[in-house]
């Protein structure tokens, strides 16, 4: 018998490759995890396929390996998930814990979105389109998240930290995600659905 819980081992999604990050903490008591935050990332920006993002999230990035890395030297961040251009999925922090992806942020009337959101980084760049297979994996993941957490909102980093962040950017197809995952339009940021 298949139960929804089969997709999860605690806060770890069984559809992802697990690589634990030390960059996390407990969620505040009583946190209601009802927000999914979509990001994009590539290191260096626009270069795909390497292992620099995994290294950043596990504090093993060689800051001298590329001139760009000097601009983020010492950064200690994480995301729950990292979804590559080929659709493969990595998880760094249990979704029951608080990952460090949002920074100063506010959405649906609440600040500090790290407290009660799940962060998903798509391998990409603000002004480039994402791969179809990334939407496939993303929609599967979002459906699984909604089985375990009371998800009622999804937003980009650009929406929860406007003026400070631009990801995932104008090329992210919110309408495609909405069609594939089947969530109500009210879950999505105003103006993102065609
Ligand atoms: Zn971001």
**How far away, in angstroms, is 71 Cα from ligand 1 center?**
16
**How far away, in angstroms, is 79 Cα from ligand 1 center?**
9
Q: How far apart are the first and last CA of the chain?
A: 39
Please write the tens of the pLDDT for every residue from 48-92.
999 999 999 999 999 999 999 999 999 999 999 999 999 999 999
Classify 158 in phi/psi space as left (phi over 0), alpha (psi -120 to 50) or beta.
Answer: alpha
E strand or H helix at 36:
strand 35-41
The token duo for 2 is 């298949």
**How far away, in angstroms, is 3 Cα from ligand 1 center?**
32
The token duo for 142 is 């979002």
Active site residues: 121
Provide the whole-model pTM. 0.96
| pLDDT by residue, tens only, the chain of 194 residues | 555 558 999 999 999 999 999 999 999 999 999 999 999 999 999 999 999 999 999 999 999 999 999 999 999 999 999 999 999 999 999 999 999 999 999 999 999 999 999 999 999 999 899 999 999 999 999 999 999 999 999 999 999 999 999 999 999 999 999 999 999 999 999 999 97
**How far away, in angstroms, is 103 Cα from ligand 1 center?**
9
**How far away, in angstroms, is 1 Cα from ligand 1 center?**
38
Class (C level, CATH) for 4-187: alpha beta
Q: What is the largest CA-CA distance in the chain?
A: 52
């Amino acid at each position: 018998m298949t139960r929804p819980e089969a997709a999860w081992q605690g806060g770890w999604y069984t559809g992802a490759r697990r690589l634990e990050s030390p960059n996390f903490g407990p969620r505040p008591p009583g946190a209601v995890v009802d927000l999914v935050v979509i990001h994009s990332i590539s290191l260096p920006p626009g270069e795909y396929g390497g292992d620099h993002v995994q290294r950043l999230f596990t504090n093993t990035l060689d800051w001298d390996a590329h001139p760009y890395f000097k601009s983020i030297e010492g950064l200690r961040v994480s995301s729950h998930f990292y979804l590559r251009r080929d659709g493969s999925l990595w998880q760094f922090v249990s979704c029951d814990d608080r990952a460090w992806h949002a920074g100063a942020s506010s959405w649906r009337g609440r600040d500090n979105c790290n407290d009660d959101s799940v962060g998903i980084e798509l391998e990409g760049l603000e002004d480039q389109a994402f791969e179809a297979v990334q939407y496939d994996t993303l929609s599967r993941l979002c459906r699984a998240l909604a089985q375990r957490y009371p998800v009622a909102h999804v937003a980009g980093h650009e929406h929860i930290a406007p003026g400070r962040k631009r990801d995932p950017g104008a090329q992210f197809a919110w309408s495609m995600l909405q069609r594939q995952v089947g969530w109500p339009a009210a879950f999505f940021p105003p103006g993102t659905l065609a």
